[in-house]
Structure 1
Amino acid sequence: MSLPELEDTLRDTTFVIVDLETTGGSPENDSITEIGAVKVRGGARIGEFATLVNPQREIPPYIIELTGITTAMVREAPPISEVLPAFLEFARGCVLVAHNARFDTGFLRAAAARLSFDWPFPRALCTVVLARRILDRGGAPSAKLSALAAHFNVPNSPTHRALDDARATVDVFHALLERVGNQGVQTLDELEQYYPRVPSTVRAKRTLADDLPDGPGVYIFRGPSDEPLYIGTSSNLRKRVRSYFTGSEKRTAMREMIALATRVDHIPCSHTIEAGVRELRLLAATSPPYNRRSTSPRRAWWISLTDEAFPRLVVARTARVPSIGPFSSRANAQEAAEALATGLGLRTCRARLGATAIHPADCGTTSASPCAASRHGSLVASGYAEITDHARATIAGHDNTVLDELRQQLEQLAAAEKFETAARLRDRAANLGLALHRSQRLASLIRIDEMVVGRPDGQRGWEIVVIRRGRLAAAGVARQGTSPLLVAEHLQAAAETTIPNEEPLEGTHPEEIALLLAWLDTPGTRIVTTSHGFHQPARGAAQHADWCQQARTGARRDQLLRPDRRTDTLTA
């Protein structure tokens, strides 16, 4: 059992306000002597629960003096093992509220744990915390229940008896809700977010979200000169933007951005994949100052073969065909390039060699890192061309023997118990394999002139997208009762035209293609029509993708260095 839907209004939420009397202050060492609870909804009381509880021990004199509950009064009362199931049933499906909730829920949770009962309430609201958040010390110098009851002049007064105190807490709780309601807090989610203190200047701007829809889309915070400050995306625009004006937003930069914001624009979208793509395109076009993520494909790094008689691999911002990428960091790209050059025997020296030159067998032998091509002996340009053809085939996905050989070397090093060297090779091989796999998947999608894809929307309808050359060309939704094929035809007719260029990804933002691929990988996705089959190279890096992922981030990655214990993870 969990909290009610967080989008329910406070008026539509059922609360159970609970109060306990106990033999002391420790949930581990003391026991409950009385439970009182009131169930409310929409400001009206709809039920009460009250019972004494036999603590199966003597009640201390100071507790008797405080509550008036004596040992004789609880002798014939039911034990907590009988009372707790009844209370849990009374409160099930509701939101717990208590004055000093940590005390009351602490005793109830401890009792549930001792009886091996599941605790169905992930969190309780505390009227002490809420009162301190809302009231200043001049209005209510104390957060005690008796002080708050007097401050709000409520009809029920606390008496240190559970039901009386629960009734008084109900009155105080309703009075506090009236105060937060005047500040725009309308849902349970917003009430929980209200707990942390938020500057009044920030909370005053929550009206910027009033005209936003509840559906998916992109939101744009704009500054005093109408400039974009921050761009984001959400499946529920209003809820997401409102969260920036609550205590849940703790980022200093975002608080600074909100202080500057004068309005919030939005672009409604059919579903989340369209919103994600539009966000990427807006980021690339406007570069808002408060977005930290990459906003330009030119920030990526690529591995390419140089255009020489004796080509070598280089890492650069711009890419030639063929290439591997994109990489988010130069270090990762350089590591993958070194692994591929070493595996294939591509030259790593920087000597300028013409078509008639000879690459020497002893190139770099006096240095700590000899040229990788030197293992082939002396090479003329025509002989070296076979190595570069192998590199092009590896990049394109027509040959993955280099990954086979790297993994064989890893097994040999592990068998020889050279674990440190093996660990370095494992990481380099995994980095290279995942980079090749990513590049080949991106290239596979780009090769398709047009693909229409549908995915269930969870409401008996279909999310539909048109993808052209790895770019989102159109998006829409076929609601329940509407023909998905008819919607797909209309989207195809209205889809934008894509014009490829000579870049490796033909001008499409790499993150956009990655988003589309992730969307295509989700369960239930179906291809409606396609101009070409969506496939990956048979001899591509996909054969090693699972191993590479485990080697890079898996919980058992170190066991890959011990093939005698985990031989199954080293098979192709």
Structure 2
Amino acid sequence: MSAHAQLTFDEIVTSEEIPLHEVTFVVVDLETTGGDRAGDAITEIGAVKVRGGEVLGEFGTLVDPERDIPPAVVSITGITQAMVHDAPRLDSVLPAFLEFCRGAVLVAHNAPFDIGFLRAGCERLGLDWPKPKVLDTVRLARRVLTRDETPNHKLGTLARVLGARTEPVHRALDDARATVDVLHALLERVGPLGVRTLEDLLGHLPDVSPQQRRKRGLADALPNAAGVYLFRGPNDEVLYVGTASDLRRRVRQYFTAGERRARVKEMVAIAERVDHVACAHPLEAEVRELRLLSAHQPRYNRRSKFPQRAWWVVLTDEAFPRLSVVRTPREDALGPFGSRRAAVTAMEALQAGSLVRRCTERIPAKRPSGRPCALHELGRCGAPCAGLQTAEEYQPEVVAVRDVIRGHRDDLLARLEDELQRLSEAQRFEDAAAQRDRLAGLVRSLERGQRLAALAAVPELVAARPDGRGGWHLAVIRHGRLAAAGGAKRGVRPMPVVDVLQMSAETVVPGAGPLRGAPADETRVIYRWLTTGGTRLVRTANPWGEPARAAATWHAWLTRATNGRTPYPTD
């Protein structure tokens, strides 16, 4: 029985600098009613736990598949319906097996088949798949053995070629025992080649390109500390920027089979060295990454193609202002948006809730000479272009838009909600759904913008977050930008460290717009850090708060309207 399914990224063995003799392997084999995970079931599980060549334990049991076993399968495995009649069902066997292999590297011959059935069983039973590291002895054998040594890579063939003590007979525990012997024999083959750790072993799997293998030494000089790493090319250009909580371990992963992205493999092939910037904590690393992406725009970082990609909705500066989507924010701008389409959608929602004109021509304050358009006939515009509305009469609509962006009033949102109610009562349900989505999107955008603007308005804020080891990660934030970062380890008084950080922090001169000139991505990252993980405020120059009529007051409505989905936008 065979089934070829691609393992997920999380299931591929990742880089671990653990000596192989200290690694606990659980070698598993399954027998099933067939090769279809959706329609077939497990009939037997066999597993052997080994470490350093020593057997630590075995797990073996028949499983009631709760369906008939095809005669063709019976002829192969010898497992009959009578044998599994009184066997435990998978709902009692699988939890015990997961406990047996907890914390170990799973090994299987043709791993996609066995791991696929185990994962599918977890999904059916509502169990969490633990995403263990997985090693496939088929792939390892293809890398280690030549065609002269073995005609194929079937378990029976490899057991004979490598002198396994147990003959595989299509019974789970016996086949697992045979696979243990195959695994040990293969590890003996790669030992003289310098394979001493899981990471080394991974470097010999087929998915590792020669370029990756040759350049593993680029990570040797990196520290086991948090920070930012920069791959540089032959002309010293920055090819790729990333962050890591452990720089050396993360960079070494680029030279293993765990790295499967074609673009990254291409980048590794031309990289000449890896620089790094050590950081006090993950927040500093994330902010420095954003700044380096903006400065270098490395071609292998997808997000660096548009480092200044924020869009904003603004009121134009003219006698009869209108809404416009721009790149450069100004006072009372709504944003930031990750795409122009998202900004246009928010602008259309503001237009739907107000009588602000939608035409794009410039209208003089005196003696306009235009003609009313269809929107005027529909009651959606006061037609200032035709002189039917003075600048003074038009101003309240402008104020309504400005106030809802600032969070001073929510009249415009109430208008949209009233229209939603009217459409629902008229049983125009498709139109009502569209209106609901328009209002929900606008509330999300307003709430995000108001939260970030409130943070950027604070001249200085000092915050501390527990580092998980009894100490503190510290940050000085000025107008939405990270001005200084540091830490106080366990036993170190944090306040003197805070004083030093404040004195040495970067000077931030506020700029224009709601974010005072701060990059939108950086302010977003800082806001998330401040509002999660138990972060505490230590000092603030001014109170950090939001407007009384901010969009956050619409949380209850938004939760009902979106059936409890997250109220925050993702763009």
TM over 0.5: yes
Distance 1:416 1:352, change over 3 A: same
Query: Alignment partner for residue 354 of structure 1, among 337, 354, 364?
Result: 364
Distance in 1, Cα, partners of 2:56 & 2:278: 43
Distance 1:463 1:182, change over 3 A: farther
Other-structure match for 1:440: 450
5 Å matches for 1:53-68? none
Distance in 1, Cα, partners of 2:281 & 2:468: 12
Q: Which amino acid aligns with 2:519?
A: H
The number of aligned residues is 545
Indicate if the aligned counterparts of 1:4 and 1:13 stay in contact, CA closer than 8 A: no
Q: Which amino acid aligns with 2:537?
A: I
Deviation at 1:428, TM superposition (A): 2.3
Indicate if the aligned counterparts of 2:13 and 2:258 stay in contact, CA closer than 8 A: no
5 Å matches for 1:531-550? 531-545=541-555, 547-548=557-558
- Superimposed CA distance per residue, residues 480-507 of structure 1 (whole angstroms, 9 cap, x where no aligned partner): 2122222222211221111122344222
Gaps of 5+ in 2: 1-10
Mean Cα deviation higher: 158-167 or 233-242: 158-167
Other-structure match for 2:209: 199
Distance in 1, Cα, partners of 2:343 & 2:419: 22
Distance in 2, Cα, partners of 1:60 & 1:444: 67
Distance 1:243 1:103, change over 3 A: closer
5 Å matches for 1:105-120? none
Mean Cα deviation higher: 223-232 or 156-165: 156-165
Mean Cα deviation higher: 156-165 or 201-210: 156-165
Other-structure match for 2:536: 526
Q: Which amino acid aligns with 2:183?
A: F
Q: Which amino acid aligns with 1:430?
A: A
Mean Cα deviation higher: 258-267 or 83-92: 83-92
Q: Which amino acid aligns with 1:205?
A: K
5 Å matches for 1:174-193? 174-179=184-189, 188=198
Distance in 2, Cα, partners of 1:384 & 1:20: 75
Other-structure match for 2:7: none
Query: Alignment partner for residue 372 of structure 1, among 378, 381, 398?
Result: 381
Indicate if the aligned counterparts of 1:466 and 1:491 stay in contact, CA closer than 8 A: yes
Other-structure match for 1:289: 299
Distance in 2, Cα, partners of 1:114 & 1:434: 35
Indicate if the aligned counterparts of 1:343 and 1:402 stay in contact, CA closer than 8 A: yes
Deviation at 1:271, TM superposition (A): 1.6
Query: Alignment partner for residue 138 of structure 1, among 141, 148, 156?
Result: 148
- Superimposed CA distance per residue, residues 365-405 of structure 1 (whole angstroms, 9 cap, x where no aligned partner): 37898763349993222332333233322222111111111
Distance in 2, Cα, partners of 1:519 & 1:232: 18
Indicate if the aligned counterparts of 2:14 and 2:258 stay in contact, CA closer than 8 A: no
5 Å matches for 1:383-394? 383-394=393-404
Distance 1:96 1:249, change over 3 A: closer
- Is 2:500 the partner of 1:494? no
5 Å matches for 1:153-552? 154=163, 156=165, 158=167, 160=169, 168-179=178-189, 188=198, 197-294=207-304, 298-357=308-367, 363-365=372-374, 372-374=381-383, 378-545=388-555, 547-548=557-558, 551=561
Q: Which amino acid aligns with 1:45?
A: E
- Superimposed CA distance per residue, residues 44-83 of structure 1 (whole angstroms, 9 cap, x where no aligned partner): 314454989899xxx999999999x999xx99x9975599
Deviation at 1:104, TM superposition (A): 7.0
Q: Which has the larger radius of gyration?
A: 1
Mean Cα deviation higher: 413-422 or 112-121: 112-121
Q: Which amino acid aligns with 2:225?
A: G
Distance in 1, Cα, partners of 2:123 & 2:185: 34
Indicate if the aligned counterparts of 1:364 and 1:371 stay in contact, CA closer than 8 A: no
Deviation at 1:144, TM superposition (A): 3.5
Distance 1:65 1:294, change over 3 A: closer
Gaps of 5+ in 1: 558-572
Indicate if the aligned counterparts of 2:15 and 2:258 stay in contact, CA closer than 8 A: no
Distance 1:272 1:89, change over 3 A: closer
Distance 1:115 1:341, change over 3 A: closer
Distance 1:85 1:233, change over 3 A: closer
Distance 1:484 1:64, change over 3 A: same
Distance in 2, Cα, partners of 1:115 & 1:331: 41
Indicate if the aligned counterparts of 1:196 and 1:248 stay in contact, CA closer than 8 A: no
5 Å matches for 1:46-85? 46-47=55-56, 49=58, 81=88
Deviation at 1:436, TM superposition (A): 1.9
Distance in 2, Cα, partners of 1:479 & 1:556: 35
Indicate if the aligned counterparts of 1:466 and 1:472 stay in contact, CA closer than 8 A: yes
Deviation at 1:346, TM superposition (A): 1.4
- Superimposed CA distance per residue, residues 335-382 of structure 1 (whole angstroms, 9 cap, x where no aligned partner): 22232233221122234333334698x731378987633499932223
Indicate if the aligned counterparts of 1:52 and 1:78 stay in contact, CA closer than 8 A: no
Q: State percent identity of aligned pairs.
A: 47
Distance in 2, Cα, partners of 1:112 & 1:295: 40
Distance in 1, Cα, partners of 2:273 & 2:181: 38
Q: Which amino acid aligns with 1:436?
A: L
Other-structure match for 2:53: 44
Deviation at 1:232, TM superposition (A): 1.4
Q: Which amino acid aligns with 2:534?
A: G
Other-structure match for 2:3: none
Distance in 1, Cα, partners of 2:131 & 2:346: 49
Distance 1:425 1:146, change over 3 A: closer
Indicate if the aligned counterparts of 1:363 and 1:370 stay in contact, CA closer than 8 A: no
Q: Which amino acid aligns with 1:493?
A: M
Mean Cα deviation higher: 544-553 or 264-273: 544-553
- Matched position secondary structure for 1:244: helix
Distance 1:354 1:62, change over 3 A: closer
Indicate if the aligned counterparts of 1:284 and 1:295 stay in contact, CA closer than 8 A: no
Q: CA RMSD, aligned part only?
A: 4.7
Deviation at 1:299, TM superposition (A): 3.0
Mean Cα deviation higher: 9-18 or 546-555: 546-555
Q: Which amino acid aligns with 2:213?
A: R
- Superimposed CA distance per residue, residues 214-258 of structure 1 (whole angstroms, 9 cap, x where no aligned partner): 332111111110101111122232333233333333333222222
Distance in 1, Cα, partners of 2:70 & 2:552: 71
Indicate if the aligned counterparts of 2:15 and 2:256 stay in contact, CA closer than 8 A: no
Distance in 2, Cα, partners of 1:341 & 1:210: 57
